[in-house]
Amino acid sequence: MRARALFFILLLLFPAWLVARDKTETDSLKTKVFQGFSGGMMFHTGYLFGHDKQAPITPAGRSVSPQGAAFGLGGALRVHLWKHLRTGFEGYVSTMPNGVMDNRDMLKAGSFVRVGCGGVLADACWRLEKAWPYIGATMGGGAMRSLYMLDGDERTWDKQTDTYFHRQSFFYVTPYVGCDYCLTPKVHITFRFDWMLAIHNSELVLPTGPRLYFGFMFCH
């Protein structure tokens, strides 16, 4: 009888032990996997170049091939997992205005090339004492909008007869390298260098080029 009673008591306690064990392992797993999160805003500049075969021809017979400095703003949100992995989302808008294009002698004020995109990112980060170097990539989609004004002026309401607007959607992969500098455990300065590889109908979307980012990340 005593053996049977002990057996039934242990049988009743076994599920409770499993639940307690499962909760302990789950809490331990969460502690090891989830390491916090970070997010913030970044300014960027870069240099875009490359000839678009579909670009219009000017009255002088020259092909519009915009190249020059681009400027923009974006942001990122990351979840930190395990010891080195970070994953999340980012998006930004980058504009190359006529004023900094090498083709400003043939394009009128108001012309621009603008890229807007967003996607999923993943990177490997090494948490040193003050510096957090990282390397990763972003994958997503976006669109490039190009406005080429070959005559007229953006400041007037006159009808423009030689103006072109083109929108091209794309899929992209952007490899990047960077480094966070920890001002405090919760506030980091980040520097990043990348190069967006945008593809549309199996062709590289142009213009393209390197970008340098600077911004602040707030961590928890």
Provide the b/e sequence for 41-67 (b: ≥16 CB within 10 Å): ebebebbbeeebeebeebeeeeebbbb
Pick the residue with more confidence: 128 or 4? 128
To the nearest 5 percent, what fractions of the chain are helix, strand and coil?
Answer: 15, 55, 25
Note the CATH number of domain 34-219: 2.40.160.20
Name the E strands within 98-182. Answer: 112-125, 131-149, 163-182
Percent of the chain with pLDDT strictly greater than 90: 55
CA distances from 65 to 3, 52, 142, 201 (A): 90, 6, 21, 20
pLDDT classification of 8: cutoffs 50, 70, 90: very low
Q: Which of 198, 192, 191 is nearest to 174 (CA)?
A: 198
* Band (77; pLDDT cuts 50, 70, 90): very high
Cα→Cα distances 181→37, 184, 193, Å: 16, 9, 15
CA distance 94 to 141: 14
The winner for highest mean pLDDT among 3-7, 22-26, 97-101, 209-213 is 209-213
Each domain of the chain, given as residue ranges in start order, spans 34-219
Helix (H) or strand (E) holding 38: strand 34-48
Closest residue by Cα to residue 91 from 46, 135, 141, 132: 141
pLDDT for res 169: 96
User: What is the value of pTM for the model shown?
Assistant: 0.79
The predicted-structure confidence for 144-188, as pLDDT tens digits, reads as follows 999 888 877 777 777 777 888 899 999 999 999 999 999 999 999
Residue 167 pLDDT: 93
Q: Are strands 112-125 and 131-149 parallel, antiparallel or unpaired?
A: antiparallel
**Which helix (H) or strand (E) segment is 19 a member of?**
helix 2-33
pLDDT above 70 (res 97): yes
pLDDT, average across residues 180-208: 94
Is residue 206 scored above 70 in pLDDT?
yes
Highest-pLDDT range among 3-7, 97-101, 106-110:
106-110
